[in-house]
Amino acid sequence: MESKGELTFYAHHSTPDSMPTEQSGKILLTIGIGLCIVGILLWKFGDRLKWIGHLPGDLTYEGSQFRFYFPFTTLLLLNGIFWLLVKIKDWLSKD
């Protein structure tokens, strides 16, 4: 293509084949069911989970007009649990 000092933009359009509707529907359904399960568990057992977010290693700073909170240890714990669940799912779904 010959250019005469003008800008040419090429738009990238995703094709309908990039993610089939069935697959995206299954993903959305799985996420929705997972969120419902987590919500029900927090609703039923939330009073027993008060330690989450208050573990040793969770960073807290309180100034006179400022409060900063970063649940570092809680994030590591939840990340480890999530990783373990994914590995178990992969192990169970091996062909």
Q: Is 92 left (phi over 0), alpha (psi -120 to 50) or beta?
A: alpha
For residue 2, pLDDT over 60 is answered with no
77 class by beta-carbon count within 10 Å (0-12 exposed, 13-18 middle, 19+ buried): middle
Portion of the chain with pLDDT greater than 90, in percent: 33
Q: What is the pLDDT of residues 51-64, one digit of tens each?
A: 777 889 999 899 99
The reported pLDDT for the residue numbered 26 is 86
Q: What is the pTM of this model?
A: 0.53
